[in-house]
Homo-oligomer: A and B are copies of this chain.
Amino acid sequence: MSSQQNAECCEPTLSEALSPDRAAELARSFKVLGDPVRLRVLSLIAARRGGEVCVCDITDAFDLTGPTISYHLRQLREAGLVDCERRGTWVYYWIIPAKLGLLSQFLDPADTVTPTAGA
């Protein structure tokens, strides 16, 4: 079963009329991506290609305090871009491909622009 399949079904593309509710929902996700540290944290997690990353490794990779990293991870989690699980001392994070796919598809100009356009 593909979780990506579910999330992308019936989702709008940029070239479709965007309801205020849907726009608000998408904007919330993009706003969370609109921070360089969060993008780098997300990138670090995504670099495991579907695997998990210990919060200890994420914190080690940045010259930032634990609480700051935790804040950014919480923002990413609340936006549905990553999920996590505590096991013993550490929390492990992984990306949610379905959510990333939804945002990627929304912006995909192949869904927006005809091949002859853009001249």
Contact = CB atoms under 8 A, between A and B. Distances in A.
B116 A108 contact: no
A80 interface: no
Interface string A32-65: 1111111110111011011100000000000000
Copies in the complex: 2
B97 A118 contact: yes
A119 B35 CA distance: 28
B107 A107 contact: yes
Contacts of A24: 36
Interface of A: 3-4, 12, 14-18, 20, 23-24, 26-28, 30-40, 42-44, 46-47, 49-51, 94-95, 97-98, 100-101, 103-110, 112-114, 116-119
